[in-house]
């Protein structure tokens, strides 16, 4: 446990220096996911570690629409990953399952009519969640069955790339029927690229 704490402490110190805020909804959704996967005990463990790391957060006190430092959300993912020994693909699945727990997403999805419209709205959706960075959809081809997502000025920890991959696939599925999606990260700020770029392709099923 001490080893995990020391490792997380280093991460927390690095992350805390990175500016940028996100809506409490993200943090809240993270804890709700932990609750579903690991129960109240899991929430208590993650909360306890966050407190030890100098970032006390109480699920009941998080306001969905308030702004919180984004690094807290990233740290919650890292803490859960360490405590529960989750793999990268577990984190992908976390991202994948997250949109259905978010009331903001459910609200927005009511109005989404097609995959194309979903992705045209994605940049606005980003701005609703973050007060920094940018999401663009520079290329969308219905004919060739793919689209590109670019995320700029968002660099906390590589684990968020796995999380976001799962997330984007789920959002794409919301906007469509009878399609199976595949996603790969083709550019990454952690590999020296100027932004993260994700290519999503699909097959009709």
Question: Which positions lie near Zn ion, rule CB under 5 A?
Answer: 161, 188, 196
Rounded to whole angstroms, how far apart are CA atoms 162 and 93?
Answer: 9
Q: How far is the CB of 186 from Zn ion (least distance, A)?
A: 10
Under 8 Å CB-to-CB from 156, ≥6 apart: which residues? 15, 18, 70, 71, 74
CB of 35 vs Zn ion, minimal distance in Å: 28
The CB-of-133 to Zn ion minimum distance in angstroms stands at 12
Q: State CA 14 to chain mean position distance.
A: 19
Q: Residue 51 or residue 193: which is nearer to Zn ion going by CB?
A: 193
The residue among 131 and 193 lying less far from Zn ion, judged by its C-beta, is 193
Q: Token pair for residue 103?
A: 């009331």
Q: Which is nearer to Zn ion, 18 or 188 (CB)?
A: 188
Q: Is 143 exposed, middle or buried (0-12, 13-18, 19+ CB in 10 A)?
A: exposed
Q: Answer yes or no: are the C-beta atoms of 80 and 95 closer than 8 Å.
A: no
Rounded to the nearest whole angstrom, what is the least distance from the CB of residue 151 to Zn ion in the complex?
8
Closer residue to Zn ion, CB minimum distance, 25 or 197:
197
């Amino acid at each position: 446990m001490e080893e995990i704490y020391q490792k997380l402490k280093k991460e927390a110190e690095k992350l805390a220096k990175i500016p940028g805020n996100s809506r409490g909804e993200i943090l809240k959704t993270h804890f709700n996911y932990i609750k579903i996967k690991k129960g109240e005990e899991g929430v208590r463990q993650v909360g306890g570690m966050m407190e030890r790391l100098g970032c006390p957060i109480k699920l009941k006190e998080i306001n969905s629409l308030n702004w919180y430092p984004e690094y807290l959300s990233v740290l919650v993912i890292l803490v859960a990953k360490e405590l529960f020994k989750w793999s990268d693909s577990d984190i992908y699945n976390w991202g994948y399952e997250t949109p259905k727990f978010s009331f903001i997403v459910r609200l927005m999805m009511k109005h989404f009519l097609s995959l194309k419209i979903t992705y045209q709205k994605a940049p606005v959706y980003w701005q609703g969640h973050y007060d920094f960075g940018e999401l663009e959809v520079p290329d969308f081809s219905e004919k060739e069955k793919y689209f590109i997502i670019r995320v700029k000025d968002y660099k906390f920890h590589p684990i968020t790339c796995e999380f976001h991959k799962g997330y984007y696939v789920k959002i794409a599925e919301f906007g469509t029927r009878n399609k199976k999606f595949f996603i790969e990260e083709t550019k990454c700020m952690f590999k020296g690229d100027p932004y993260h770029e994700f290519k999503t392709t699909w097959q009709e099923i």
